[in-house]
Structure 1
Amino acid sequence: MAAASRGGAESFRSVLTFTFRHWRRQAPLVALVASAMLLSTLADVFMPVFAGRIVDAVALDGADKAAGLHKALWALGAMVGLGVLMAGLRYVGFAGISEMTLRIMTRVGQDAFWRIQRFSTDWHANNFAGSTVRKITRGMWALDLMDDTLLLSLLPSLVVLLGSTLLLGWHWPVMGLLVALGSIGYIALTVSLSILYVAPSARLANIWDTRLGGLLADAVSCISVVKGFGAEWREDARLASLLGKWRGRTYRSWMRGTSNSTLQTLVLLVLRVAVIGLVLWLWWQDRASPGDIAYVLTTFFLIQGYLRDIGLQVRNLQRSVNDMEELVAFHADPLGVADAPGARPIRIAAGGIVFDHVNFHYGKHETPLYSDLDVAIRPGERVGLVGHSGSGKTTFVKLIQRLYDLSGGRILIDGQDIADVTQASLRQQIAIVQQEPILFHRSLAENIAYGRPDASQGEIEHAARLANAHDFILRLPKGYGTLVGERGIKLSGGERQRVALARAFLADAPILILDEATASLDSVSEALIQEAMERLMQGRTTIVIAHRLSTVRTLDRILVFDRGRIMEEGTHGELVARERGIYRSLFERQAMDLAAGLQVA
């Protein structure tokens, strides 16, 4: 229980701190909303006073009846005036909070997206995209509930309770004390139950809600695999199992909220009986008139309504905190790689790359992948990276892109340390074509122009021609305006590769990285892509991650990696001629596999 209390209190503190930080950026609007709601609520506080005066006025009889009517009408006019004032002020408050909340939600969404895009590739590898989206959208809407609860509900409720208690205490101190103690006890009970009893179960329900979003997104994004293996029933069963756990956690959360609400109702019943009993005793002692009784009853029913609302508002506050805490947690996560203070844009002309005594290890791994690695790639040189899986090839190009920070040493491009330049400027001057190219669910023209969004239609089409993609694009129903589907699912593997090559052509970067772009393609697509790749490599510093050694035979130099070390380097001919060399062994094994495949065919 103590741990739950600390965890719940910490969540409330962190979320409220996050919310108030955004309020400070909208201080004038916050002040406007708070002032309008305060004045509006004060008008509500004085309504029972005039209701009591009407009762006293109509209680007059005989010669005083006309005077009583005058007093009653005057009190009624005051109530009408207060009502009109209250309506006008509430309109101002609601209009102000609408503008304020939308501004904050926009800022929060932008900030969260900004951070997520800059988290490390490891972070993204360990988090479902669907879950991440759900955390952001749920947190944004929870912020809307938070603002409404604090400014439109809790603030007026506290003003009514304080103002009404003071007015009652001014007439009858014992009545003011009773209402004050009862209200404080009710609020303390409500807050304690929300933090210690309801919040832990609601937090667990949200965790399963996030997992549900992740599972749905995972299955939908991989629907081609599901259908390919006829596994729809298996995914149905997987979802049913998760829904069962989600239903159980959510039901428990809801039932705890119901129990909390029931206990609050009973406490209000006890307070109501006490207040009514006390005012009747005051009347019996000739210390309260019929109008006073009407005033006390009207005031208490007003207080009771606001107290009941406070119970709901505290539950809403607790719910908004639970829904926001995962979004707030994004801001506690460190960025994967941060620009150095005063980082400047890099200027790459020739494209020479130098690894100078580079040390690197992943995360908390004790064993480094690279130790004192020295490599120099000349401007315009075409270099192949070869080795078994896990030998360090992919990490080599990721470090050039500065997707990770080094443990030691430095990487220079045209003599500039990439740790001292902005990441955006670095990556904008490095074109990469991945083995499994990823396209946005946008038009083909937008995908090709992603590296140069200001490119003209003519430049886009020229890049597509260079990538041997123009002809197949024209055969599509909407040509360059065709939407390619999520991750480019509407296109074949070869078509996606050619679009990715066109994107690299249009980017026209001085450094090019190719991650075996011809793997697993038919011979026609492979020939078209190979031809386009040869054009693309001309005049650029090129690094090719090779899985099939036939693709590196014409390169200027080949680096053979093994466990983070460069064991061999040279041209294809030099490495094949080396007795008992790693490259020769890999080449012979692939040649034997190819011969065996031809014999079977």
Structure 2
Amino acid sequence: MDDDQDDLFPRANVLRSVLTFTFLHWLRRPAIVLLCTLAMLAGTLTEIFVPLLAGRLIDAVGAGDRAGAIHAFAIMSALGLAMVVLRHLGWWAIIPLTLGMMRDVAQEAFARVQRLSTEWHANSFAGSTVRRISRGMWAIDTLNDVLLLSLLPSLTVLAGTVVLLGLDWPLLGLGMALGAFAYVAVTFGLATRVLAPIARLSNQWDTKLGGVLSDAIGANAVVKAFGGEAREDERLSRTVNKWHRRTWRSWMAFTWAGSGQLALLWLIRMGVTGGALWLWQAGRASAGDVAFILTSYLLVHGYLRDVGQHVHMLQRSVNEMEELVQLHDEPPAVVDAPGARALRVTAGTIRFDAVRFRYAGQTSPLYEGLNLSIAGGERVGLVGPSGSGKTSFVKLIQRLYDVEAGQVSIDGQDIAAVTQETLRRQVAIVPQEPVLFHRSLAENIGYGRPGATQAEIEQAARLANAHGFIERLPKGYATLVGERGVKLSGGERQRVAIARAFLADAPILILDEATSSLDSESEAAIQQAMERLMVGRTAIVIAHRLSTVRALDRILVFDHGRIVEDGPHDRLLAITGGHYRRLFERQAGNGEPVLLQ
């Protein structure tokens, strides 16, 4: 079975959830929505009476009633002018409504994505997420136009015309009502039960296509390094071919649906025309009445034909907004507790009390009853093989995840009871692979402290041994670093990250030591800057080379989520058969090397 077979069936409540999302945004601007609605309704009602007046005009001309003909013409002209003014007012009103909604949706979606969990971001393509937001944002433009400028006038014309015809010829009005109802029902049925699932699948592959493109382009340096251009071309080709098949099926389905609806419209036209002729032949309708009936139907026919397009556009915009609404409904994994207060750090003491933690999808916890205390100002190294729990330890300090049981506290304050913003402002991080914005060097360093002066930024760069290479650049601190800092070397990016941490001046410092892959000159400069940065702070260093933790106050040795050894370098090295000693000897060349990540 096709992997995507389940996606061929419509999901329940998608239309309702998207429309609810839209209406809630309308409620933020009730005055402009009401103005647009009333203007479009009034403008449409003027059109309904034009066929009636056209019939009277013809009867007046046939009877030689000059005054009656002029009177009918004058009213038709006035209604036409009113229609133009009212429609213009409706079109004008929808501009601030739609732009305001698009702005709100983009900002709120961005804010939601920024606050989603680290795990969510690790499992999501950045390009796909951007596509979901931008496509959904522009779908609001289509949805508002369809609902307020298209469907509302169309349904008003249908209802008004059926009422006017029914007042004089009930059977004819009933016939037109049944025909219009059948057409609208078929249109909605096709859109929601047939076309929507196919279009949804096409959109999913459009999102995947954006993700594949973003992934390959963002990692172009790796592609070039391994001569992988042809492989990436082939990978994209597989995705594009799948997208092509899904989109072809979607477009062909829309084509067949459109042809079927057009045929149904012609059947309704023939029925109404035949009914008008029968009424005339039976002497129950004058020539003007026939003109009124046929003109009314032509008006209805145009709107009915457009209803099909409007419903298709409605369903397409719903499909395109579906992923945005899902994103809006995605619950953040970590939220501030009600009444959360600001974290106040005095000494910088960190405690883990009986902490139990597991990642989503894991059957057994990584930590079970973890107890640990790090004194304020203490410099602690974390060592152990890959997957032993070092990185998870610092992520819990940052509260990137919540613990299942127990408590992580800073200076006696449960970090689950303080705001995430104030917590993370008190924790400066220098990651192993620094991520920089595609902004200037000054902006990247200044990110550590909003509002920092240029002098403060430059001082932080000096402390990080970054000022020298920055000054040698043609534009100095105004130099753009490229996406994720690609224009800088690894050592330069590391020093910028350290400068950012210096500027943040946080009492707690986390260093993911990354000097092992650098040249000796860069390593020496970064090591010196890191040692300078640790002074007077509670420092936690994830060590990849044991030589970097010798001078630290204390070393924690992790193994399968447990701290198996705890103490300074010399004492741990003296333990015969100890974990730390074994790791140290392997790195010293007495055994197989171990990468401590």
Aligned to 1:313: 310
Q: Secondary structure at the match of 1:339?
A: coil
Deviation at 1:7, TM superposition (A): 3.1
Aligned to 2:20: 17
Matching of residue 441 in structure 1 with residue 444 in structure 2: no
Aligned to 1:485: 482
AA aligned to 2:485 is: G
Query: Aligned equivalents of 1:509 and 1:353: distance in 2?
Result: 14
Aligned to 1:215: 212
What per-residue deviation string (whole Å, max 9, x for no partner) do you get for residues 157-204 of structure 1? Answer: 111000000001111111101100000011011101111111111011
Worse-matched range after superposition: 20-29 or 527-536: 20-29
Query: Aligned equivalents of 2:73 and 2:119: distance in 1?
Result: 69
Deviation at 1:349, TM superposition (A): 2.0
The structure-2 alpha-carbon separation of the partners of 1:361 and 1:88, relative to structure 1 and needing over 3 Å to count, comes to same
Query: Aligned equivalents of 2:346 and 2:506: distance in 1?
Result: 10
AA aligned to 1:269 is: W
Check the 8 A contact 1:380/1:541 in 2, yes or no: yes
1:579-594 map, 5 Å: 579-592=576-589
Q: Secondary structure at the match of 1:520?
A: coil
Check the 8 A contact 1:446/1:453 in 2, yes or no: no
Check the 8 A contact 1:467/1:532 in 2, yes or no: yes
Check the 8 A contact 2:8/2:201 in 1, yes or no: no
Check the 8 A contact 1:388/1:562 in 2, yes or no: yes
1:229-378 map, 5 Å: 229-378=226-375
RMSD: 1.5
Matching of residue 38 in structure 1 with residue 41 in structure 2: yes
Query: Aligned equivalents of 2:235 and 2:516: distance in 1?
Result: 33
1:67-466 map, 5 Å: 68-466=65-463
Matching of residue 540 in structure 1 with residue 532 in structure 2: no
Percent identity between the two aligned chains: 61
Check the 8 A contact 2:513/2:544 in 1, yes or no: yes
What per-residue deviation string (whole Å, max 9, x for no partner) do you get for residues 337-361 of structure 1? Answer: 0110100110112111111111111
Deviation at 1:8, TM superposition (A): 4.5
AA aligned to 1:320 is: S
What per-residue deviation string (whole Å, max 9, x for no partner) do you get for residues 557-580 of structure 1? Answer: 000000111111111111111100
Aligned to 2:3: none
Deviation at 1:4, TM superposition (A): 8.1
Check the 8 A contact 2:427/2:506 in 1, yes or no: yes
Q: Secondary structure at the match of 1:453?
A: coil
AA aligned to 1:51 is: A
TM-score, normalisation: structure 1: 0.96
Deviation at 1:250, TM superposition (A): 0.2
The structure-2 alpha-carbon separation of the partners of 1:519 and 1:75, relative to structure 1 and needing over 3 Å to count, comes to farther
Query: Aligned equivalents of 2:12 and 2:83: distance in 1?
Result: 35
Query: Aligned equivalents of 1:116 and 1:593: distance in 2?
Result: 48
Check the 8 A contact 1:139/1:323 in 2, yes or no: yes
Check the 8 A contact 2:431/2:512 in 1, yes or no: yes
Query: Aligned equivalents of 2:565 and 2:199: distance in 1?
Result: 58
Check the 8 A contact 2:473/2:479 in 1, yes or no: yes
List gaps (5 residues or longer) in structure 2.
1-5
Deviation at 1:101, TM superposition (A): 1.1
What per-residue deviation string (whole Å, max 9, x for no partner) do you get for residues 426-482 of structure 1? Answer: 001100000000000001000001021200000000000000001111111111011
Aligned to 2:467: 470
1:512-523 map, 5 Å: 512-523=509-520
Check the 8 A contact 1:354/1:376 in 2, yes or no: yes
Aligned to 1:599: none
Check the 8 A contact 1:5/1:195 in 2, yes or no: no
TM-score, normalisation: structure 2: 0.97
Check the 8 A contact 2:585/2:591 in 1, yes or no: no
Deviation at 1:332, TM superposition (A): 2.8
Q: Secondary structure at the match of 1:136?
A: helix
Aligned to 1:500: 497
Deviation at 1:137, TM superposition (A): 0.7
AA aligned to 1:38 is: L
**After the TM superposition, which parts of structure 1 deviate over 6 Å for at least 4 consecutive aligned residues?**
3-6, 593-596
What per-residue deviation string (whole Å, max 9, x for no partner) do you get for residues 308-364 of structure 1? Answer: 011001101110111111111113322110110100110112111111111111113
Query: Aligned equivalents of 1:4 and 1:441: distance in 2?
Result: 37
Check the 8 A contact 1:370/1:565 in 2, yes or no: yes
Check the 8 A contact 1:494/1:521 in 2, yes or no: yes
Deviation at 1:5, TM superposition (A): 9.8
Check the 8 A contact 1:5/1:196 in 2, yes or no: no
List gaps (5 residues or longer) in structure 1.
597-601
Deviation at 1:498, TM superposition (A): 0.3
Q: Secondary structure at the match of 1:356?
A: strand
